[in-house]
Amino acid sequence: MGHVKTDIHEKGRTYNATYALNSADGVRALLRDRHKIAERRFRGDYDASAILIDLHSAIESAALTERQAEAIAWVYGLDVTQTEAARQMGITQQAVQQAVESAAERIAGVYSRWSYGEVSVELTKDNAEEAAV
């Protein structure tokens, strides 16, 4: 006979993360956690897929400058520090920070126009601890 592996402590390791997407802080949090949300797609979480598709559409609709798009790609796509992104882009860390902040504001503006509000995603504490680092 086969064995069934059941995680009886799973509920104790999960929590809901809520992102207020009509604010730059909420957008930055979503961008920070998007790799963890992407993992949920492979567990059958269709809402995670919808959130990521909408994020991609919002980024495309935000009319980001080339520098803003590159800063977002380095910092949130490749998960490098702002200092490393600045080195790769040939600019200062402060310029990267400003590009990321203004990009997040533009993306939040798109979500506001869409009347998007908040989204929630269930993450595990393992993912949350990695996302918070």
Domain ranges for the chain: 14-124
Q: Check: CB of residue 24 under 8 Å from CB of residue 104.
A: yes
The predicted pLDDT at position 127 comes to 44
Say how many C-beta atoms besides its own lie within 10 A of residue 48's C-beta: 22
Quickly list H helices, the chain: 24-41, 46-61, 66-72, 82-89, 93-113, 125-132
Query: Looking at per-residue confidence, does 14 or 132 come out higher?
Result: 14
8 Å CB contact between 85 and 75 = yes
| CATH number at 14-124 | 1.10.10
Confidence band of 122 (pLDDT split at 50, 70, 90): confident
Q: What is the pLDDT of residues 26-52, one digit of tens each?
A: 999 999 999 999 998 888 889 999 999
Q: 119: closest CA among 40, 42, 61, 65? A: 40
